Structure 1
Amino acid sequence: MDTRMQKYLTDQECVWEFNPPHASHMGGSWERMIGMARRILDAMLLQQNISLTHEVLCTLMSEVTAIINARPLMVVSTDPGNPFILSPAMLVTQKVGVPPPPGDFPDKDLFTRQWRQVQALANQFWTRWKREYLPSLQQRSKWTVPKRNLEIGDLVLLKDKQAPRNCWPLARITATFPGQDGYVRKVEVTTAEQGRPRTYLRPITEVVLLLPNE
């Protein structure tokens, strides 16, 4: 370890606590991320019988790391009109996530040139990982007890299948539409696209509540 880093950790009284062997479940949330990534990579590489060189695999794992570390943790903006989310990558780099390179990388690129192959695999991982990760942010249980309705001013994360890699679109609820029983199942949301406000109607199953308007 670098001596300056070692001195800093000593001065801050940092203590390393390691999990015991054969107890990966004690890792909690980060171990869940590892397990999710492992399942997706197994499905992508083993089932499709894709052979990668060492360089391509290292580049792909860098893209996978970027995808996982771009996930939203919490909202940190004081501007309600232009909120942004804190991610693990921002904690490390102090920068907003880097968008993917321009261009389309369909599945047919899986068997072409190495750079395009990596981008196609990264897009495939992003699609599968987002599909598994987003439900973990929503608590799904039997509708046997009343729960809080979505309200005007709530900050939500949109489930957008067309969103580019590492992009998590945020929106504010601007209107709600309760049914005859008083429960909200449809909302109007306003988001920003290229600096311009856009308004959409969405069912509550397509939004994830991040920050209630309290």
Structure 2
Amino acid sequence: MEFTKAADAPWENGCSEALIKSVKKSLSLAIGQSIMTFSELQTVLFEVANILNERPIGTSTSDPNEGTYLCPNDLILGRASSNMPVGNWDESDNFKKRWKFVQQVVNTFWRKWHRDYFPSLIIRQKMACHNWKLGQIVEAKSSRDGVTRDVTVRYKNIGPGTKYTGTQDLLIRRSAHRIVVCFQLKNKLATNEM
């Protein structure tokens, strides 16, 4: 089974798109211009993945007093947290400093992501005004249920009032929800024959 969505239809996969956006923004702010080794960056990304997989996606019981919730880690690991007991580390101060640095980056990510992620769960839609492109639908894919959700559109990428200089046509995949059909080709041909 293959899951693909058009690039301009984030509402078709809205929850994960909002999550990806907030994670990328928070990671960018947390890491900033810091220089990390591969293993340090990998550790940060593993910690971030653990934070994301500890977020609740539902309740595991119907009793609200129990306080437990279902999270992705329950499905992946069989438990809510991937934390392990901390052992004795016999390492130099430099390793301890780098470990503290990695933990600081992870904590900064948590603060930024927590601040940005929860407000993004509120749904709002913005449509760009006066930004219409005239194109031709070259391909319309139907799903198994016979509904067309994504189309491939060919259009010229030139600005308004700009003289056309023979640029290459662009082919782009778009959601059928954002397509406005001005006229169908069959109707145009039928009117030309009359």
TM-score (norm 1): 0.46
Q: Structure 2: state its 5+ residue gaps.
A: 87-95, 125-194
Asked if the contact 2:31–2:105 (Cα under 8 Å) also holds between the matched residues in 1, the reply is no
**1:89 corresponding residue in structure 2:** 73
Counterparts of 1:119 and 1:23 in 2: how far apart (Å)?
Answer: 36
Counterparts of 2:85 and 2:108 in 1: how far apart (Å)?
Answer: 15
Structure possessing the higher relative contact order (Cα contacts under 8 Å, 6 or more residues apart): 2
**1:38 corresponding residue in structure 2:** 24
Amino acid at match of 1:28: G
Q: Please identify the structure whose Cα radius of gyration is greater.
A: 2
2:107 is equivalent to residue 123 of structure 1: yes
Change (3 A) 1:24 1:63: farther
Q: Which runs of 4+ in 1 moved over 4 A?
A: 99-102, 137-140
3-state SS of paired residue (1:120): helix
Amino acid at match of 1:40: S
2:69 is equivalent to residue 67 of structure 1: no
Counterparts of 1:74 and 1:131 in 2: how far apart (Å)?
Answer: 21
* C-alpha RMSD of matched pairs (Å): 2.9
> Sequence identity of aligned pairs in percent?
28
Counterparts of 1:35 and 1:136 in 2: how far apart (Å)?
Answer: 9
Change (3 A) 1:127 1:69: same
Residue 117 of structure 1 and its aligned partner are, at CA, apart by: 1.4
Within-5 A mapping of 1:41-52: 41-46=27-32, 49-52=33-36
3-state SS of paired residue (1:129): helix
Residue 23 of structure 1 and its aligned partner are, at CA, apart by: 4.7
**2:172 corresponding residue in structure 1:** none
Counterparts of 2:29 and 2:40 in 1: how far apart (Å)?
Answer: 18
3-state SS of paired residue (2:56): coil
Aligned residues: 115
Residue 51 of structure 1 and its aligned partner are, at CA, apart by: 0.7
Counterparts of 1:100 and 1:40 in 2: how far apart (Å)?
Answer: 25
Residue 71 of structure 1 and its aligned partner are, at CA, apart by: 1.0
3-state SS of paired residue (1:28): helix
Asked if the contact 2:54–2:81 (Cα under 8 Å) also holds between the matched residues in 1, the reply is yes
**1:154 corresponding residue in structure 2:** none
Asked if the contact 1:60–1:121 (Cα under 8 Å) also holds between the matched residues in 2, the reply is yes
Q: Structure 1: state its 5+ residue gaps.
A: 1-14, 103-111, 141-214
Counterparts of 1:24 and 1:38 in 2: how far apart (Å)?
Answer: 19
Amino acid at match of 1:94: G
TM-score (norm 2): 0.50
Asked if the contact 1:76–1:83 (Cα under 8 Å) also holds between the matched residues in 2, the reply is no
Note the alpha carbon deviations across 1:125-169, whole angstroms, 9 max, x for none. 1111111223345689xxxxxxxxxxxxxxxxxxxxxxxxxxxxx
